[in-house]
Amino acid sequence: MELKVLKPFRDKEDAKKIYKVGETIEMDNLERINDLVVRGICIITAVETKENSGSSDKIVFLEKEFEVKEVKEALVAIGITVAANAGANSINKKISELTEEQTKAITEILCKE
């Protein structure tokens, strides 16, 4: 997670390091993050998600790979309801349930891009 320093403080593990107000720091230790936030020393500015970690899921459709986001948008464009947090498994299930006409429509949308 990314934190923004609100009050200066000394690093717990490296006593020589002092964080200044406005500085941005990266931290993964959830207990430490909670402690800093509860005490008003830092605020959380960003949380790393699967998409941001570089290992984003891909959907294989018509022997081509597409980003999950692209396929979601194409499904919505042809009138298929998709949850905002739907992952690759949900999207693949939706694709398998498409009619012939819907498959043709989504193919035109995805291959046009």
Of the candidates 32, 51, 52, 55, the one whose C-alpha atom is nearest the C-alpha of residue 3 is: 32
Distance CA 108, CA 113 (A): 9
Radius of gyration for the alpha carbons in the chain, expressed in angstroms and rounded? 22
Q: What is the pLDDT of residues 59-99, one digit of tens each?
A: 887 778 888 888 899 999 999 888 888 888 888 888 888 88
Q: What is the pLDDT of residues 5-44, one digit of tens each?
A: 999 999 988 889 999 999 999 988 889 989 999 999 999 8
Residues in the chain: 113
pTM here is 0.49
